[in-house]
Amino acid sequence: MNTENLNTAAAQFGLPLYVYHSEKIESQYNRLTQAFAKVPRFKIHYAVKALSNVSILKIIKNLGGGLDTVSIEEVQLGLYAGFAPSEIIYTPNGVSMEEIEQVAAMGVQINIDNLSILEQFGTKHPTIPVCIRINPHVMAGGNANISVGHIDSKFGISIHQLPHILRIVENTKMHINGIHMHTGSDILDVEVFLYAAEILFDTAKNFKELDFIDFGSGFKVPYKAGDIETDVEEFGKKLTKRFLAFEKEYGRELTLAFEPGKFLVSEAGYFLTKVNVVKQTTSTVFAGVDSGFNHLIRPMLYGAQHHIENISNPNGKERFYSVVGYICETDTFASNRRITEITEGDILCFKNAGAYCFSMASNYNSRVKPAEVIWHNGEAHLIRQRETFEDILKNQVIPSTIEEPVLV
Ligand SMILES: *Cc1c(COP(=O)(O)O)cnc(C)c1O
C-alpha cells in the first residue's frame, strides 16, 4: 500500500476509514507456513477477535486456514464465512457451560480452560473430544493486560493441576484430543517460548490419543521503528526440530497448530482520519482528528504506539505534534511525535491498524463506527458500510410511560 492508494481509498469512501491490504495478510500467512514447511501436519487458526470482518475471514479460508474463536458469536461468524465446524477451535474463558455445549453441538473443536467445566463436560459428554488449555506459567512479556501466562492469570489450567486433570479424565473416560497453550502476546525470546513448549510436550505424554498440539500465539510485530519482531524463521526452524522429535517419541502423527491474530492482520491495516484542528498551546502543537478512542483504543488501553503519517503532505518538513481525538476525556493517540507538517484538513494515517482496532471500536460519545474497505487486486472494495444515526438508535426502546408521562 502506498500513499496514493490510501488517498484514493479516502477519496472514494470518506473518513474516518479502515483500509486492509489483502496481499499483506497473504504474505504473513505464507511466511508462517513456510517457516513450518517441514512439519507434515501444520495448521494456522486465525484468531477472529483481532479483526472479525467476514471478508477477512474468507481471505483466511481461501488461504487454507482455520479459525480460533472465543465466543459463540465468533463461531457463528466463522460458519457464516463458510468454514466447516471442524476447522474452528473454540477457546473461551469464563463462559457458561450452556454456551460450550451449544458450540460443541455445532461440531466445533472445544478447548476447555478450567477444571470445573472439564469435569462437568466430561461427565455429560464423554464421547465429545476436548482440547485442554494449559497454563505453563511462563512469562512471555508485553503489556500486563495481554500477558496471560503468569501465575495470577485467569487463563488456562495450571500445569501444577495436571494430577487433577488426569483424575477427571480417568473418572469420566473423556477423550482428550488436543493440548493447548496461549501464553501472551509477545514471543520476544524464542528460547523462552521453547521452554514453554517443553512443558507442553511433557504434559502431552500423559494423553495417549492426541491429534494436535496448539501453541497459541504471541507473535510480535513491529509497531514503531526499533521494535523487535519475532524471528519467525528461526522460531520455525527450532520448534520444527523439537516438534518432529517429540512426535517420534509420542508414536503418533500430530498436527502442530498456531492461532495468530496480530501477526496476520496488524500490519495489513491502516486507519485514516482527517485533521479537524491544529491548536498551538504554550507547550505543544495539537492535531485534533475527526476520530477518537471510540475507533482506535489501543493507545489509550495499552499505551500502544501506532506510527502516524501525514499522507496529505508526505514529503513536508517534520515537526512535533500531539495527536488527539475528539472524545470528551483524555484521548491521546500520540504525544510529541515527529510528523510532516500538518494543515487542517490533512489526512493522517495510523499504521498497524489491522488487529484489535476496528474489532474494539465502540459507539462512545454516540459516534458511528467507520467504514472498512479492503485493498484487493489494486482496488478498494467496501466490506462494511459506515454506520449511520439509525444504527445509534437501532436497539433503543422508549417505554410508553416515559414517552407520555402520566402526570400526578
Ligand atoms: C487473542 C488470542 C490469540 C491471538 O493473539 P495475537 O496476539 O493477536 O496473535 C490466540 N489465541 C487465543 C486463545 C487468544 O485469546
User: Tens digits of per-residue pLDDT, 1-33?
Assistant: 899 999 999 999 999 999 999 999 999 999 999
On average, the pLDDT of the chain sits at 94
* One-letter amino acid of 216: G
* Domain definitions of the chain by residue range: 22-262, 266-386
Tell me which residues are annotated as active site: 328
Among 134, 232, 259, which is best to mutate for testing ligand 1, by the most ligand atoms less than 8 A from CB?
A: 259
- Residue 146's pLDDT band, with cuts at 50, 70 and 90, is very low
- The phi-psi region of residue 263 (left if phi > 0; otherwise alpha if psi is between -120 and 50; otherwise beta) is alpha
% residues pLDDT > 70 (the chain)? 95
Domain 266-386, CATH among 3.40.50.10190, 3.40.50.1980, 2.130.10.10, 2.40.37.10? 2.40.37.10
- CA 180 to ligand 1: nearest atom: 13
- Cα 290 to ligand 1 centroid, rounded to whole Å: 30
Q: Residue 1 has what DSSP assignment? A: -
User: What pLDDT was estimated at residue 153?
Assistant: 73
- Residue 228's pLDDT band, with cuts at 50, 70 and 90, is confident
- All three cell numbers of 281: 498551546
- Cα 261 to ligand 1 centroid, rounded to whole Å: 6
From CA 134, how far away is CA 149, in angstroms rounded?
9
CB of 259 shorter than 6 A to ligand 1: yes
Higher-confidence position of 407 and 266: 266
Q: Which residue reads 480460533 in cell numbers?
A: 68
pLDDT digits (tens, 9 = 90+) for 320-329: 999 999 999 9
CB of 91 shorter than 6 A to ligand 1: yes
In this prediction, residues 236-259 reach a mean pLDDT of 97
CB of 49 shorter than 6 A to ligand 1: yes
- CA 133 to ligand 1: nearest atom: 13
From CA 133, how far away is CA 92, in angstroms rounded?
10
- Whether 346 and 310 have beta carbons less than 8 Å apart is answered as yes
- All three cell numbers of 236: 520455525
Domain 22-262, CATH among 2.30.40.10, 3.20.20.10, 3.30.499.10, 3.40.630.190? 3.20.20.10
Among 29, 44, 46, 68, which is best to mutate for testing ligand 1, by the most ligand atoms less than 8 A from CB?
A: 68
